Structure 1
Amino acid sequence: MWFWNVVTDAVSLVLMTWRSIRDKIWAPGLTIPEPCYVLDLVLKVVYCNNRLRILDFLFEHFFSYGLFRYEDKVYVTDVKYCQAVIHKSDKGGEKYLSNSPLGGSFLGSSNKSPETRRSIAAIFRKSNMEEKGLLMIKDIEKMIKMISKSTKINVNEITLKLALDIVGHVLIDLDLEALDGKRDEILGCMMTILHKAYALGEITYDSKEFVRANETFDKLTNNILEDALSSDEARPSVNLPQLLQRTCGFDEAKDNLKLFLMAGSETTAATIPVVLHVLASRPDIQMKLQTEADEFVEILRKAPGSIPPKLDSAMKEVLRVYPIAPFISRRTDSDLHLGAVHVPTGTDLRIFIWGIHRSSFMWKDSKDFKPDRFLNLQSSTNNQSYFWIPFGAGSRICIGQHMAWVELRLVLTFLLHHFTFFTIPETPELQFCVDWEHAVVHPDKDIILGVRTRLP
């Protein structure tokens, strides 16, 4: 690998020199740079055609230009350009979700998005999610009892079940009993669609397996929605399915419920395994966070919105080094000028969060996991600014971000209070695959960790 690193550095230097001379003579700052055929070929060989790693390299390579083109997308590197794109170009996922079960949700339609988001926004308010923390804790404690019987666990599998149960209790007012093994069919459909088809590319969208999983997922979501709407009088407050049906009718409510079942479960179940893998690999850091968890676990039982500062900083740092959403999609609906560069109507733009969070131009020791980084940033006297957007930004910022933060904080505090996690021979290296259609990064293999119950 060192040989290929030398080759790419040499090619990069030559091309940067040539590009600098070319731009000064012909078109200074007026063109969108892109890698030439030679550099593209070298990168594909070096990185085994891994697009995420190629874009990571190109982000640094073209950083000074503010943007670059790769394949048929324009990736934005400059912070001011990113902010302009976020606020001036609002079209997003509808172009990319034509084969997805989420194509009929408000995520897949810019026309439906504002009205639907407004109708359900109150449910996702920070204060409401913190109040729902007590429901989350009950599910977390149920998972802890299951883990306590094991010496090793598949973190992806058990946290996916937990996340689905939390979605059921917090958003739908149903006990889905996924931890009891009663939702394995819908979870299997989700993994077939999101992992085998979109992230790993093992099956195609027109394959029998994908079509069958899609149809089954639609049927099971239909059943969940009917159950959630069937006994309104027994519920003390209006829930998400009721609001969705009132806003857009049963069929669209079902399409939107698919979004919350998938996104509400999958992103949490992709983040927690990464956090625990990092901590299992760094027992010194895990021990410090366990000490804090011991102090906060009873505080969180009484006030789920409380924030353990060291854990909070560590979670932010994990989402910096390994952001679960690698980019934000936008499509220009009119001509846009980014600096001196003219971006024509209909251009597919991506704010490349993965590159921004990991850029050596923006962060000191950018690829290193430093759990106290955000504690230090908050206490810094030089007011260092940073661009950290793990949940997106603008009008399409993740509507479930407050739910995700409360859930992650509670799950990790309780897990670290009860258990010590460590790597074992079955533990894979931390590598990633990307669902480019839904903009989600996953570990490419399930995270298997050893687990040991801590003494009181």
Structure 2
Amino acid sequence: MMTSRLIIHAILCILKYINNLICRSTIPETGVIVDTLLYGLFGDDKLLKLEYLCQFYHKFGLYKYEKKIYIFDEKMAQTAINKLDKGADHYLEDSPLKDTFLGSSQKSPETRRAIASIFRKTSIDERGHIMIRDLDFMCDNIQDVASSSRAVNITQFSLRLALDIVGHVLLRLDLGGLKGQQNLLLDAMMTILHRCYALAEITSDSKEFLQATENLDRLTSQILEDALNTNDQNSDDKRLVAQLHEACGFEQAKDNMKLFLMAGTETTASTLPVIFYLLTKYPQLQMELQAEADENMANLRKDPNFPLPKIESVMKEVLRVYPIAPFISRQNNGPVTLGKVNLQEHSDLIVFTWGIHRSPYTWDKSTEFIPFRFYETKKTNSNLYIPFGAGSRVCIGQHLAWLEIRLAIAVLLNKFDFRQIEETPDLRFVVDWTHAVVHPDKDMLVKAVPRPA
């Protein structure tokens, strides 16, 4: 087996040399030979294939694969992000998010302003204390599991935490995720996002998928009705929900609420399991972050934005080496030149964040997790760093996700030691190519040991 892989690598190196002799004003494209060799190395793992091709076509800065143009050269990527139109519309044709502002560039300015005001950084930062309250309740639940010597499912806890925070922070509603009151909603979202789009266990026309979308639609309608009916005119949170409703009507408000619920939970449920897997793999690192959390916990409870430089460095590095949003889609409505390459009109472009963040040509030890890379340098070494996307497809919930994850690390490490157990899976990824999200392929199970108060 090892010999076969070495032979494949040798052949690909020869093909790479030949490709480098091609005129650089053209876009290189994989053919039958390269595709066959890639399958021999990576099987059906498309993410690994695309990452490999970034090195294979390094001198070009881009390549064509399955009719899409993948861009990983930093200058080309920045040009595409800043000058081209977002290209999400056709990706979301069979998604429940197709009618949200994410899936259409034709939504009204009033709708966009209402949504932007909900997710504004200052608005999110003011609600950090609410997140800490939810995290304390999550710790109580983990304590119950730990006391019975059962494995702690960090993925499920993260998902339920994220749903509660979306409810409390954005809607001022108690969705009861950690209390087990929204199991049907969570199951519907995971059926759609994970089973269908990430794992491909079911299709978008299957009975399970259609039932899940029906449940999601019905439950989202109820949540929006509750938000509107309990609106407190003295509360900015309630006023913002009403503002969204006034801007676009009930049906579009409901569709955008689906985006809040699904995207607001998916990022956290994908990122926290990766972080806690790494903390169990590197116990010394966990101890170092615990020391920072312990030292600053009193200040953090007074001011949730109190600096945590080591924890923040680890977060940045996790999102560099494992960017949860692996690409940004773009389209050109007219002729465009990237570098020396002339693109045809309506090209399907992918700014490949995963390849940019893991490039050995721009990052030292690019695929290694170096926890304090950003703590030591205090900067990104001028390399393109776009973990939440950029431009018109930048993640609308980036401030919510960042504060939530940051507080979760600190509060959980202050309360527990986390350790790997026999059931802890290896860290492998699947990709939701429709919604541009990377997931661990299995729920992350660990042991939580309560720390002395």
Same fold by TM-score, threshold 0.5 exceeded?
A: yes
Q: Deviations over 1:139-158 (max 9, x none)?
A: 10000011112232011111
| 2-structure distance, mates of 1:301, 1:8 | 55
| 2-structure distance, mates of 1:54, 1:153 | 33
Show the counterpart of 1:91.
86
Q: Deviations over 1:364-416 (max 9, x none)?
A: 0111111110012217xxx8312110100112211111111111111110001
| 1-structure distance, mates of 2:114, 2:256 | 12
**1:450 aligned counterpart, secondary structure:** strand
Query: Contact 2:320 / 2:357 at 8 angstroms: preserved in 1?
Result: yes
The counterpart of 1:402, out of the listed 381, 387, 399, is 399
Q: Deviations over 1:281-339 (max 9, x none)?
A: 11011110000010121111111112200000001101111110010011111111011
**2:144 aligned counterpart, secondary structure:** coil
**1:148 aligned counterpart, secondary structure:** helix
The residue type equivalent to 2:8 in the other structure is T
Show the counterpart of 1:208.
207
Shift in alpha-carbon separation, 1:300–1:31, aligned structure 2, 3 A:
same
Q: Does 1:73 align with 2:68?
A: yes
What is the TM-score of this pair, normalised by structure 1? 0.96
| 2-structure distance, mates of 1:241, 1:451 | 38
The residue type equivalent to 1:451 in the other structure is A
The residue type equivalent to 1:171 in the other structure is L
Matches within 5 A, 1:368-383: 368-378=368-378
Show the counterpart of 2:359.
359
Q: Does 1:288 align with 2:266?
A: no
Matches within 5 A, 1:27-426: 28-112=23-107, 115-151=110-146, 152-233=151-232, 235-239=234-238, 240-378=240-378, 384-426=381-423
| 1-structure distance, mates of 2:110, 2:325 | 24
Q: CA RMSD in A?
A: 1.4
Shift in alpha-carbon separation, 1:431–1:113, aligned structure 2, 3 A:
farther
| 2-structure distance, mates of 1:331, 1:129 | 32
CA deviation after TM superposition for structure 1 residue 5, in Å = 4.1
Show the counterpart of 2:14.
14
Task: Flag as ranges the 4+ runs of structure 1 deviating above 6 A.
Answer: none
For structure 2, list consecutive stretches of 5 or more residues without a partner in the other structure.
none
Query: Contact 2:134 / 2:161 at 8 angstroms: preserved in 1?
Result: yes
The residue type equivalent to 1:177 in the other structure is G
**1:74 aligned counterpart, secondary structure:** strand
| 2-structure distance, mates of 1:207, 1:263 | 22
Q: How many residues align?
A: 448
| 2-structure distance, mates of 1:277, 1:113 | 42
CA deviation after TM superposition for structure 1 residue 425, in Å = 0.5
**1:329 aligned counterpart, secondary structure:** strand
* Identical-pair percentage: 49
Query: Contact 1:292 / 1:308 at 8 angstroms: preserved in 2?
Result: yes
**1:451 aligned counterpart, secondary structure:** strand
Show the counterpart of 2:444.
447
The residue type equivalent to 1:226 in the other structure is E
| 2-structure distance, mates of 1:40, 1:118 | 45
| 2-structure distance, mates of 1:12, 1:112 | 46
Query: Contact 2:170 / 2:237 at 8 angstroms: preserved in 1?
Result: no
| 2-structure distance, mates of 1:351, 1:227 | 39
Q: Deviations over 1:99-118 (max 9, x none)?
A: 10000100000111754332
For structure 1, list consecutive stretches of 5 or more residues without a partner in the other structure.
none
Bigger mean CA deviation after superposition, 429-438 or 340-349:
340-349
Shift in alpha-carbon separation, 1:432–1:416, aligned structure 2, 3 A:
same
Show the counterpart of 2:435.
438
| 2-structure distance, mates of 1:315, 1:2 | 35
| 2-structure distance, mates of 1:455, 1:248 | 51
Shift in alpha-carbon separation, 1:370–1:174, aligned structure 2, 3 A:
same
Shift in alpha-carbon separation, 1:238–1:150, aligned structure 2, 3 A:
closer
Bigger mean CA deviation after superposition, 444-453 or 4-13:
4-13
The residue type equivalent to 1:323 in the other structure is P
CA deviation after TM superposition for structure 1 residue 45, in Å = 2.3
Shift in alpha-carbon separation, 1:35–1:147, aligned structure 2, 3 A:
same
| 2-structure distance, mates of 1:111, 1:69 | 29
Q: Deviations over 1:322-359 (max 9, x none)?
A: 11001001111111101111111111101111111111
Query: Contact 1:105 / 1:259 at 8 angstroms: preserved in 2?
Result: yes
| 1-structure distance, mates of 2:316, 2:108 | 28
Shift in alpha-carbon separation, 1:300–1:53, aligned structure 2, 3 A:
same
The residue type equivalent to 1:374 in the other structure is F
| 2-structure distance, mates of 1:194, 1:346 | 28
**2:443 aligned counterpart, secondary structure:** coil
| 2-structure distance, mates of 1:39, 1:405 | 39
Query: Contact 2:54 / 2:61 at 8 angstroms: preserved in 1?
Result: no
